[in-house]
Chain A
Amino acid sequence: MTERTAPETGTPPGAAANEKPTPNGAATPDPAGAASVTPALQTDADGTASAAVTPEAGAAAVDADGSASASKVVATAKADGTGSAARTAETGAAAARADGAGSASSAGESEVAAAKADGTGSAARTAETGAAAGKADGAGSATAAGESEVAAARADGTAPAAHTPETDADAAKADGAPTSGVAAATAGDSDAVPAKADGVGEGSAARVPEARHAAPDEVVDAADGDVGTDDDGDAGAVDDDRTAAAGPVGPDADAAAGDGAERPVVLRLTDVVKTFPGVRALDGVQLEVRAGEVHCLLGQNGAGKSTLIKVLSGAHQPDSGTVEWLGEAVRFANPQAANKAGIATIYQELDLVDDLSIGENAFLGHEPRVAGFVRRGTINKRTRDILARLGHGEIAPNRMVRTLPAAGKQVVSMARALSHDAKLIIMDEPSAVLAHDEVENLFRIIRELTAQGIAVIYISHRLEEIREIGDRVTVLKDGRTTAANLAARTTPTRELVSRMTGRTIEYVFPDRADKPPVADELLRVEGLGRPGEFTDVSLTVGKGEIVGIAGLVGSGRSELLETIFGARQAQSGKIYVNGKALRPGAVGAAVRAGMGMAPEERKTQALLLGEPIYRNMTLSTFSRIAKFGFTDAGKERVEAGKVADRLELRPRDVRRPVGTLSGGNQQKVVVGRWLLGDTQLLLLDEPTRGVDVGARAELYQVIHALAAQGVGVLLVSSEVPEVLGLSDRVVVMREGRVVRQARAGELDEDTVLDLVMAGSLMEGAPA
């Protein structure tokens, strides 16, 4: 089996090439630049130890071998987080986050593109060997405005990073003269070379979403190339520090270090243990969250994230270990106590009351009142203030929550958190319910919150989001902290994944060995339409073929799948299976015709959570296993056991209630249900949503194995790399229409994302 990583199919080198610095700017050794390095810097340059950037001290900026390019440079680039600089150096990852805070004129948002060159400074080579793009923001400075781009180029042995606000782009040029607003973290074996970010034009390429998508995977590439070669740590480790709103201060390393330490630790967990009957859910968790940071929590399903949240939010009490909140050891008796103390939790299933207004929801349980009467006016006024703080002053506080889209409800949840004056907001997979553009809005809000000094614990399975929004990452595995306070942007994907799983891959798509060149037609959909959902959809799926549907939430993709399966009745169009027309709107007919579907919402649409695994697996086949209407539980267990073996279900005991399984294993049960029958066509709706990395790879293999047996697969996924990597053919949907059908090899991630998002960017955002 050869492994193929997503960027090869998804991101063309061009995406990186666009954002790289110009050749001459990238890595041209420049005597003047070298000369501009201060003596202090040079002293540092030979010591790799200083490069370790004193993580605890909140470390100042550096490039990896410790030579802070500092003295006359205005904004100091910083690395913070445990040994992130050193680690970055070792793996040679070049992703960086720059800090726009340094200059008053600097950016509200700035972008970093870090490119790694092979030493010759050739730009083309830079792109090919792997570039990493990161996104930075300079929210630290209130007066910051505009946008700036940073291009950091790394030539082998040297790691210059330049932070170039728009206005000063030219000033950052080759002579490296320290100009206001320029941060050049320079390093080298001996000579420091500031980079020139030549013109904002090139740099701005980094701002397109594609660049962000590319980032994590590119980092892997970079890491692969450089492991073990660069122990002296000359990577451009540039990280941000929001509080370092320095202004034109002479940035000596110590002062910068002091800056880092200024962000106080608001929450510290030490050796927290929580045991449930039979399960040690938390087995020694360490966590440290600082004010104003976005602290990401990573871990597979079942790693203990949910339990940890519940401990923090007061829903559970730890058995042992300490929770320090604002410097005091605390023990929250219940969620109300945690709320009162300033910890708010936004759960994945938003706990809002649909038929109350936004304001009433925000102040639910602690309404301002006079003599028992709720002060509606006060609620609305304060809610309006809070919404304005969240950047949504346009939402009327008396609007009913029911009328809001998912993204809007999330804003209300955050408003509720702020109404409690929360200092820490815990978000459990907030992006899972959001469309692509809504995630951007969420991130904007999170940035505004952190700029106000509020700490955020952010949980997500999507590494690219963590790269974009996170500051530091703590990784949990089996209830333990396996890595704490990693730098969110610079830690290589490979390392994060391996900390979570012991494996080193994120997307791995097994090779299709025996793919039929021209598949016999299995499913043919002609002109299918349902008003308000999708119109005139035609597609085919062949035997043994995997067809992927790419599209945003609301593009009609899930509705299409359900209609094909008969769970919804089509208003127009025909569905043929094996050439025979299918009775519309009848799931039973579809199942008898050999179709099976794994719906989008596992828990609400597919599983009987209290029932044992085997009964869930045989839900569509128990009648066939039964004799004369009498069920045969023994045979069902045997059959389910075979499927469980095939899918490597854990735990393997099929008599356990399915509700006790992790998300990935639950998904295996749902897919396994259709392996039991003679399913010829499998419809998969978001098969890997909420599924951890390891189980995801296993699911991919299962899907391929099924296709190899001649089963046709029609799958829907929000994750474009997944659609591209898994499918033979791709159908792109937008606003209920098929906008493109092509073989997967003919499309790349950027093209698909463009197709998927064009024209619909702002739809579904809260009004």
Chain B
Amino acid sequence: MTGLPAQTAPAVKEALGGGPEPEGPRGNGWWKSDAGESTRRNLALIAVLAGLILIGIITKPDLYGQEGWWISNVWAILKLGSTVGVIAVGMTFVIIGGGIDLSVGAIIALAGVWSTTVATQEMGTFFMILTALTVGVGVGLINGFLISYGRLVPFIATLAMLVAARGLAAWISNKQTQQTDNRTINAIAAESFLGVPLLVWILGIVVLLGWVLLNRTTFGRRTVAIGGNVEAARLAGINVRLHTMMLYALAGLCCGIGAIMLTSIGTSAQAAMATNYELDAIAAVIIGGTLLSGGRGTIVGSLLGVVIFSTITNLFTLNALSSEVQNMVKGGIIVAAVLIQQFRFNSVSLFFKRNRVTAPS
């Protein structure tokens, strides 16, 4: 009844789990305790999402439950999360690979500003898109180079880039808001294809490609290996440095795509755009079950994280609650989602058992 999938058919297991999970030794069902760790995490996220939708149905029955309205609300929610969703895909790769990228918001601003300068706009749609993607990848490569060959800690390298890229964006735009009059760019946020908004198409395609890249390609396998045990990966002959650089370039590419989307949404670009997007993306990735220390994570989880956030925003906007309250609730949701994921039945029983035990005199 909701547009959001809450199916529990085994067929979706792999999609949810982000990869083939080993069957239990006793051939248990996948929902049992030996179902994939990430599958369970994602199911927990779906439960959170279902709870939010339930709140939506109660508070705004017309928009959440009513025929004809709910579907447009779903698109609204997904459009709201589309830009963060795209950069969250890149962020997922970086974090699984054992790094972090704080500069994604700044890269979006730089790519957005660079691609909407008068000179660039004059050269046409294709060149604007190309500029945004090139700037994104280029800045990502610089990040990656500093981290893997300059041996900077990812946190520091990308923090520096956050500051520097916004500075460059402000310098290029001369602190002005740059309007786009390119109709094709502006149409991305406005138009739909087959009844689905183009922004949602982009998000869907990026998520799909990201999923394939992570779970079905050698690139993804290398990412997991490096994040899981960098020394083991190196001694297995994987070129860790090159791959790490590629990870940040990929994150940059996603930022380039995000820059186009955000420029289209606002029909303009400015140096202050996409502020705090890095935090939104990281938060979505973390509640999506990706280990901050690397080595494990799923694209689907990150997508669910993004959708949960934009559903909250949607709910609050519809109920006319202030953004301050909204941020407080978001903070609570991050904690709650992670707690729910850590929930284990036997850990509860252990807890009680532990309290029963008495120490010797």
Q: Interface on A for B, CB 8 Å cutoff?
A: 277-278, 317, 325, 328, 330-334, 337, 340-341, 565, 567, 587-588, 590-592, 597, 599, 604-612, 615, 619-620, 622-623, 626, 629-631, 633, 651, 653, 655-657, 673
Instruction: Say if the beta carbon of B25 comes within 8 Å of chain A.
Output: yes
Judge whether A330 and B237 touch: CB under 8 Å.
no
23 contacts between A and B (CB under 8 A): A277-B33, A317-B357, A325-B360, A332-B359, A333-B359, A337-B359, A567-B234, A587-B237, A588-B238, A590-B237, A605-B229, A606-B232, A608-B225, A609-B229, A615-B221, A619-B232, A620-B237, A620-B238, A623-B218, A630-B217, A655-B22, A656-B25, A673-B236
Identify the interface centre among B224, B236, B353: most chain A CB within 10 Å of its CB.
B236
In the complex, the answer to whether B23 meets A655 with C-beta atoms within 8 Å is: yes
Complex: chain A residue closest to B37, CB-CB: A610
What separation, in Å, do the CA atoms of A623 and B353 have in the docked complex?
48
Q: Which of the residues A591, A611, A630, A631 comes within 8 Å of B237, measured between beta carbons?
A: A591
Is B219 located at the chain interface by the 8 A CB criterion?
Answer: yes
Q: Per-position contact with A for B186-209: 1 when CB-CB < 8 Å, else 0?
A: 000000000000000000000000
Leading 7 A-B pairs by shortest Cβ distance: A591-B237, A655-B22, A337-B359, A330-B360, A608-B228, A620-B236, A333-B357
Complex contact B25–A629 (CB within 8 A): no
Residues of chain A with a CB closer than 8 A to B228's CB: 608-611
How many whole Å from A31's CB to the nearest CB in chain B?
60
Pair B357/A331 contact, Cβ less than 8 Å = yes
B295 contacts the other chain (CB 8 A): yes
Contact of B236 among A277, A341, A619 (CB under 8 A): A619
Binding site for A on B (CB under 8 A): 20, 22-23, 25-26, 33-34, 216-221, 224-225, 228-229, 231-239, 295-296, 346, 353-354, 357-361
- Whether the pair A565, B361 counts as a contact (CB closer than 8 A) is no
Of B218, B239, B359, which is within 8 A of A629 by CB? B218
Most buried by B among A341, A619, A626, A651: A619
Chain A residues with CB under 8 A of B296: 610
Q: Check if A567 sits within 8 Å of B235, measured CB to CB.
A: yes
Judge whether A565 and B235 touch: CB under 8 Å. Answer: yes
Assess A332 versus B360: contact at CB under 8 Å? Given A590-B237, A605-B231, A620-B237: yes
Task: Specify the chain B residue showing the minimal Cβ separation from A342.
Answer: B360
A599 touches B360 (CB 8 A): no
Q: How far is the CA of A607 from the CA of B346 in the complex (A)?
A: 28
Chain B residues within an 8 Å CB radius of A565:
235
User: A611 touches which one: B26, B224, B357 (CB < 8 A)?
Assistant: B224
Residue of B nearest to A586 (CB): B239
When distances are taken between beta carbons in the complex, the residues of chain B under 8 Å from A592 are 237
When distances are taken between beta carbons in the complex, the residues of chain B under 8 Å from A588 are 237-239
Which residue of B23, B25, B217 is within 8 Å of A626 (Cβ)? B217
Residues of B within 8 A of A330 (CB): 360
Is A606 a contact partner of B235 (Cβ separation < 8 A)?
yes
Beyond A332-B359, A604-B232, A605-B229, 10 extra complex contacts between A and B, CB < 8 Å: A328-B360, A331-B357, A332-B360, A333-B359, A588-B237, A608-B225, A608-B229, A619-B225, A620-B238, A653-B22
Q: Flag if B233 contacts A619 (CB, 8 Å).
A: yes
Closest B residue, CB atoms, query A660: B25
Most chain B CB atoms below 10 A, which of A332, A587, A606, A609: A587
Q: Are B361 and A626 in contact (CB under 8 A)?
A: no
A623-B218, A629-B218 as given contacts; A278 in contact with B237, CB under 8 Å: no
How far, in whole Å, are A588 and B221 apart by their CA atoms in the complex?
16
B277 CB to nearest chain A CB (Å): 30
Q: How far is the CB of B84 from chain A (nearest CB, A)?
A: 28
Residues of the B chain whose Cβ atoms lie less than 8 Å from the Cβ of A629: 217-219
**Interchain CA distance A655-B360 in the complex, whole Å:** 43
Q: Which residue of B lies closest to A633 (CB)?
A: B20
Q: What is the bound-complex CA distance between A630 and B221, given in angstroms?
A: 10
User: Can you name the residue of chain B whose Cβ is closest to the Cβ of A589?
Assistant: B237
* Cβ-defined contact, A631 with B216, below 8 A: yes
Query: Does the CB pair B221–A631 fall under 8 Å?
Result: yes
Q: Which of B22, B220, B360 touches A341 (beta carbons < 8 Å)? A: B360
User: A608 CB to closest chain B CB, in angstroms?
Assistant: 4
Q: With A331-B358, A610-B295, A656-B25 given, is the CB distance from A317 to B353 under 8 Å? A: yes
Which B residue's beta carbon lies closest to that of A565? B235
**Contact in complex: A604, B217 (CB < 8 Å):** no
Report the Cα distance A651→B24, complex, angstroms. 13
B218→A626 contact, CB < 8 A: yes
Q: Which residues of A contact B353 (CB under 8 A)?
A: 317
Chain B residues, CB < 8 A from A633 = 20
CB distance from B123 to the nearest CB of A (A): 33
A357 to B228, CA, bound (A): 32
**Which residues from A are CB-within-8-Å of B20?**
633
Across-interface contacts of B359 in A (CB, < 8 A): 332-334, 337, 340-341
Residue on B nearest A655 in the bound complex, by CB = B22
Give chain B nearest CB distance to A143 CB in angstroms. 36
Cβ-neighbour of A587 out of B221, B224, B235 (below 8 A):
B235
Known contacts A331-B357, A629-B219; is-contact A604 B346 (Cβ 8 Å)? no
Query: Which chain A residues lie closer than 8 Å to B221 at the CB level?
Result: 615, 622, 631
Compute how far the CA of A591 lies from the CA of B237 in the bound complex, rounded to whole angstroms. 6
Say yes or no: A599 contacts B25, CB within 8 Å: no
Using CB atoms, name the residue of chain A closest to B24: A278
Give the complex CA separation of A332 and B358 in angstroms.
Answer: 7
Across-interface contacts of B25 in A (CB, < 8 A):
278, 651, 653, 656
Q: Which residue of A lies closest to B213 (CB)?
A: A629
Distance A623 CA – B239 CA, assembled complex (angstroms): 12
Q: Across the interface, which residues of B come within 8 angstroms of A604, CB to CB?
A: 229, 231-232
Q: Given A325-B360, A619-B233 in contact, is the A631-B23 Cβ separation under 8 Å? A: no
Chain B residue at minimal CB-CB distance from A333: B357
Complex interface: chain B residues within 8 A of A656 (CB): 22, 25
Q: Roughly how many angstroms separate A657 CA and B217 CA in the complex, as a whole number?
A: 20
A634, B354: Cα distance in complex, Å: 43
Q: Which of A277, A325, A657 contacts B346 (CB 8 A)?
A: A277
Contact B218 A608 (CB under 8 A): no
Question: A654: shortest Cβ distance to chain B, in Å?
Answer: 9
Rounded to whole Å, the gap between the CB of A399 and the closest CB of chain B is 29
Report how far A605 CA is from B22 CA in the complex, Å. 24
A653: chain B residues within 8 A (beta carbon): 22, 25
**Contact among B22, B225, B239 with A657 in the assembled complex (CB-CB below 8 Å):** B22
Are the C-beta atoms of A605 and B217 separated by less than 8 Å? Answer: no
Contact between B236 and A630 (Cβ–Cβ < 8 Å)? Answer: no
Which chain B positions have C-beta within 8 A of A651?
Answer: 25
Q: How far is the CB of B297 from chain A (nearest CB, A)?
A: 12
Q: Which residue of B lies closest to A562 (CB)?
A: B235
Chain B residues positioned under 8 Å from A599 (CB to CB): 231, 235
A337 to B354, CA, bound (A): 12
Give, as a whole number of angstroms, the nearest-CB distance from A332 to chain B.
7
| Whole-angstrom CA separation of A597 from B234 in the bound complex | 11
Query: In the bound complex, what is the Cα–Cα distance between A630 and B228 (angstroms)?
Result: 20
CB distance from A545 to the nearest CB of B (A): 23
The answer on a CB contact under 8 Å between A631 and B218 is yes
The chain B residue with its CB closest to the CB of A607 is B232
Q: How far is the CB of B115 from chain A (nearest CB, A)?
A: 29
Q: Please give the distance in Å from A594's CB to the nearest CB on chain B.
A: 11
Residues of chain B lying within 8 A (CB to CB) of residue A567: 234-235
* A residues less than 8 Å from B231 (CB atoms): 599, 604-605
- In angstroms, Cα B26 to Cα A340, docked, is 41
| B residues in contact with A657, CB < 8 Å | 22
CB closest chain-B residue, reference A331: B357
Q: How far is the CA of A657 from the CA of B225 in the complex (A)?
A: 14
Residues of A within 8 A of B26 (CB): 278
Residue from B20, B218, B224 with most neighbouring chain A CB atoms (10 Å)? B218
B13 to chain A minimum Cβ distance, whole angstroms, is: 14
CB contacts (< 8 Å) of A606 on chain B: these are 229, 232, 235
Cα separation A681 to B359 with both chains bound (whole Å): 55
Q: A623 — which chain B residues lie within 8 A by C-beta?
A: 218
Residues of B within 8 A of A278 (CB): 25-26, 34
Least CB separation from A612: chain B residue: B22
Are A337 and B360 in contact, CB atoms less than 8 angstroms apart?
yes
The residue of chain A having its C-beta at the shortest distance from the C-beta of B28 within the complex is A278
